[in-house]
Structure 1
């Protein structure tokens, strides 16, 4: 990068590794220095929580507010009814209004952990694009907005082209999505003076569409900024684990499991993740990330504590660390350990170890359970289990049976009723 930003926000973006591309870095920098600039990121309401894959952009909004500007979280109450086709192989399932609103309510709880909402100049604002999309006059929209879009250009965007190249269906409904998202930027600029849209680099085409539309309709100069699409150093998509999505709402994923996700970060990712997902000084992130041997494990604890504190508060991070130390170092059972409750009827007079693992959901099949036990990967109350047909009873479980799969997955099984 030849241009050196002067604004606090862009300096943070560059120093911490958030910046992938910007439509006009110098122009945006000048606007940020001139006063408070509203900026937004859009989120379609497709689930009741955001997950770790969204966290990088949430942290960008947090830094945006911390450096003196106004973040807008735009909820896609309208666009969720269409679905973003970007880099998807098939159309999203369509949700009704009640499901969309329930998802927005769940996502709102996540944003409130990271952003200060209110009516002040730099307070965050949550908006819903259903406000202007639900009552659009279709013919007027085609005439006033649709005429600014070239179908030839829309077909050239990689998110669309990749679907067509694979002979995968792209519905007319989905094809409209990029026009609606561009219209969001125009409306936010008209209504609230929004000058910047941010998003992942897969949203570049949609962002550029919004900038071009706004320039054509109102002549206003606005900007786009994208973050890199992250994968872990071992190639996994950020936000996914063997057990599924790493949700940011505690009722969908326990703080302990969330903490463990970060504690299990690969050595090569520690420094990078500290810069992206915590607020520790860059120099300290680099120092921790450069540690080797057993010392890198303590850096991972620092990472897990810092990220969990932001998402679930310090008390949850402290409880998770205490539980992890009890489980790993002392062989005990911590209070924050994942708890799996089985009905007494599922146990009957007793069930085999393989059936226990399947019943708790810790493995998906009896075959997988047998393999795990055969490879000496199962411990019950810290005792190695070698017999897949060994019987577990309600009496064996008692007040709680600690189940350990390998060195990293632990749960406490209890009997209900």
Structure 2
């Protein structure tokens, strides 16, 4: 998808609310030439989470406007840990853990960046390639002498931690030097003149610009994006189960879809601006729909579909939608036992020995009563006669005699329902 040639990337970021801090000269620079810029991602885990998607998608925006983008996977800096925005020191990663995490993160970055386009293909670099073999004494002589303790103590990330009981280790204190050297290295080897990041990276970014000025006499630039927060003050990207990860093994496409689908009306337009490539007219139309028909939740549905398709692909999106509809009486066939377990995790359940469903199966009335789903066979008969009992979202009739193992999802789960929303799970052991 190409960008509108009549709009600059700076104007694009501005109307989306994506500019938090920006150095003087950036707007003019971006208007007059195509530059090389980078954004770093430290491998603190083997997956990024939705909080990383603003800078990732922003890199893709720059690329669509013809700029040359570099995603830096921080194997070197990841072994130290950035104190920015942290109340306590991270657990240090081993070299093996950091390398493994970088390789996994590279795969996720490839969902957003185009490495095949002829004019300005995206690149991924690993700062472990230059940091891990840099000798300490050489680094202190070449880089450390350009930093003053006085200046470093004024950084918010340093001041905030020094005012806490946990303090700040020398290891973390040195992080800014490493990130600054990353910028210098890319400036000298890739003609990279700008670094971007979240607003908590401003101090590290400006330190890198200053190092480049001192070492080369040239100018470099920085731009930061706002850290996304919910209007109610709670942290974006967190659920009751923890962080919303991009790795489908950590957060399934179904839960990923549900995260976006459950966005509050007060946040959804901002999220459409931050995370999608929809133009102003499309987003304005969705905003009007919220005001006129909020009960339809079209903005949330559009956001959830777009983000799930972007991250996990069309097949995963279709399955996530099917799983979501299963809660409202939709088709269950085709879903896996893992899907059922996830969708109905909070639903009451009862376990039977698998052998009870072998052969001719188990009597329906006995199943409904022995599981404590219904109180008596009389109640069960009446409910079935009234058309109010469903198995796997298919209505039972008075001729439904027995339940066999082949009716269970992958031999594991049977979904009972009374009325529209009263679900119950039968599990086999």
Task: Report the TM-score range of the alignment, normalised by the length of the smaller protein.
Answer: 0.7 to 0.9
Counterpart residue number, 2:156: 158
Does the 8 Å contact 1:340/1:412 carry over to 2?
Answer: no
Counterpart residue number, 1:400: 413
| Aligned pair partner of 2:39 in 38, 41, 64 | 41
Given the two structures, how large is their TM-score scaled by the length of structure 1? 0.79
Write out per-residue CA displacement over residues 46-91 of structure 1, whole angstroms, 9 at most, x where no aligned residue.
1111110101111101101111011111111111111111121221
State the alpha-carbon separation in 2 of the partners of residues 166 and 240 from structure 1: 24
Counterpart residue number, 2:58: 60
* 1:254 CA displacement: 1.4
The 1:216/1:45 distance shift into structure 2, 3 A limit, reads same
Does the 8 Å contact 2:352/2:428 carry over to 1?
Answer: no
Write out per-residue CA displacement over residues 71-114 of structure 1, whole angstroms, 9 at most, x where no aligned residue.
11111111111111112122111112221121112111211111
The 1:334/1:223 distance shift into structure 2, 3 A limit, reads farther
Counterpart residue number, 2:234: 236
State the alpha-carbon separation in 2 of the partners of residues 263 and 127 from structure 1: 34
State the alpha-carbon separation in 1 of the partners of residues 313 and 274 from structure 2: 18
State the alpha-carbon separation in 2 of the partners of residues 98 and 414 from structure 1: 40
| Aligned pair partner of 1:171 in 169, 172, 176 | 169
Does the 8 Å contact 1:270/1:288 carry over to 2?
Answer: no
| Aligned pair partner of 1:226 in 221, 224, 228 | 224
Counterpart residue number, 1:371: none
Counterpart residue number, 1:273: 271
Larger Rg: 2
Write out per-residue CA displacement over residues 289-316 of structure 1, whole angstroms, 9 at most, x where no aligned residue.
2423444512211111111111112232
* 1:236 CA displacement: 1.9
Counterpart residue number, 2:200: 202
Once the two structures are superposed, the pairs formed by residues 236-275 of structure 1 within 5 Å of their partners are 236-275=234-273
Write out per-residue CA displacement over residues 202-249 of structure 1, whole angstroms, 9 at most, x where no aligned residue.
000000000011001101111100000111122221111111111112
Structure 1 SS opposite 2:282: helix
* 1:156 CA displacement: 1.4
* 1:36 CA displacement: 2.6
State the alpha-carbon separation in 1 of the partners of residues 154 and 426 from structure 2: 53
Counterpart residue number, 2:332: 333
The 1:380/1:191 distance shift into structure 2, 3 A limit, reads farther
The 1:412/1:32 distance shift into structure 2, 3 A limit, reads farther
The alignment yields a C-alpha RMSD, in angstroms, of 3.0
State the alpha-carbon separation in 2 of the partners of residues 335 and 232 from structure 1: 35
Once the two structures are superposed, the pairs formed by residues 286-365 of structure 1 within 5 Å of their partners are 286-290=284-288, 291-292=290-291, 293-328=293-328, 330=329, 332-333=331-332, 335=334, 338-340=339-341
Structure 2 SS opposite 1:79: helix
Structure 2: stretches of 5+ with no match in the other structure: 1-5, 343-349, 355-389, 394-404
State the alpha-carbon separation in 2 of the partners of residues 113 and 166 from structure 1: 39
Structure 1 SS opposite 2:66: coil
Once the two structures are superposed, the pairs formed by residues 16-31 of structure 1 within 5 Å of their partners are 16-24=16-24, 27-31=25-29
State the alpha-carbon separation in 2 of the partners of residues 89 and 7 from structure 1: 40
57-66 or 292-301, which deviates more: 292-301
Does the 8 Å contact 2:38/2:192 carry over to 1?
Answer: yes
State the alpha-carbon separation in 1 of the partners of residues 416 and 76 from structure 2: 45
Structure 1 SS opposite 2:177: helix
Counterpart residue number, 2:71: 73
292-301 or 215-224, which deviates more: 292-301
Does the 8 Å contact 2:322/2:330 carry over to 1?
Answer: no
* 1:167 CA displacement: 2.6
Counterpart residue number, 1:105: 103
State the alpha-carbon separation in 2 of the partners of residues 318 and 348 from structure 1: 32
State the alpha-carbon separation in 2 of the partners of residues 412 and 54 from structure 1: 36
State the alpha-carbon separation in 2 of the partners of residues 206 and 266 from structure 1: 33
Counterpart residue number, 1:148: 146
Does the 8 Å contact 1:73/1:126 carry over to 2?
Answer: yes
The 1:202/1:74 distance shift into structure 2, 3 A limit, reads same
Counterpart residue number, 1:357: none
State the alpha-carbon separation in 2 of the partners of residues 411 and 22 from structure 1: 54
State the alpha-carbon separation in 2 of the partners of residues 413 and 203 from structure 1: 50
The 1:304/1:148 distance shift into structure 2, 3 A limit, reads same
State the alpha-carbon separation in 1 of the partners of residues 63 and 216 from structure 2: 27
State the alpha-carbon separation in 1 of the partners of residues 143 and 425 from structure 2: 57
Structure 1 SS opposite 2:196: strand
State the alpha-carbon separation in 1 of the partners of residues 275 and 75 from structure 2: 27
Does the 8 Å contact 2:353/2:428 carry over to 1?
Answer: no
